[in-house]
Amino acid sequence: MRRPWRRDRAAGGVLLAAVVAGLTWAAGLRTATVGLLALAVLVATALVVRADPPPDPVLPRPEPPPVPGARTDVGDLVWVLTTRGGDVGLGFHRRLQAAAHVRLRAVGVDPDDAASVVAALGPAVAATLGTAAPPRTGAAVAALDALERLRPAGAPPGGPTTAKSTASSTAPPVARGGTA
């Protein structure tokens, strides 16, 4: 790729070689010496023109520390959620596997024991979580639903999934579209 500044420098080099040749010829040097000096100026100009200028310095932009649940975090999840082919993205699949690992440990299931994972989640969800390739969106949603329904042993159905719950059991239900 030729750049315009190179063309200007090359033309300046030819002009400089002509000026040097004219001055040395006027000084009374032999024609061979004049030609060699002009050739040396052309070669030096070609080398200078060929060299790229140094790049402009770029100062690194400091990145703010990530805030969990911030807009960028949600945006990252949206971008990795689905691909054009209908599969979930690889980033979402990895996050789903990490969340399943944590969730299974929280309810007392060893995530490394395939039989206990199949018993807790079912064979289809266990296969979805156990593959390296990202699953279809429907399979990922089914895995999320199964992980959400997962309860610790002895916990009542529909109750809190962990020992600490942020919701109050005595709070009145919120009507759809309204306030409590």
CA atoms within 13 A on the CB side of 99: 14
Segment 96-117 mean pLDDT: 90
Q: Please give the pLDDT value at position 164.
A: 44
The DSSP 8-state label assigned to residue 24 in this structure reads H
The tokens of 138 are what?
């429907």
Whole-prediction pTM: 0.45
Q: Exposed (0-12), middle (13-18) or buried (19+): which is 10, by Cβ within 10 Å?
A: middle
Identify the band that residue 85 occupies on the pLDDT scale cut at 50, 70 and 90. confident
Longest dimension (CA), the chain: 109
Q: Please give the pLDDT value at position 175.
A: 43
**Is the pLDDT confidence value at 177 over 50?**
no
Cβ–Cβ under 8 Å, residues 80 and 92: yes
Q: Name which residue leads in pLDDT, 130 or 56.
A: 130
CA atoms within 13 A on the CB side of 74: 3
Q: Helix or strand or coil: residue 133?
A: coil
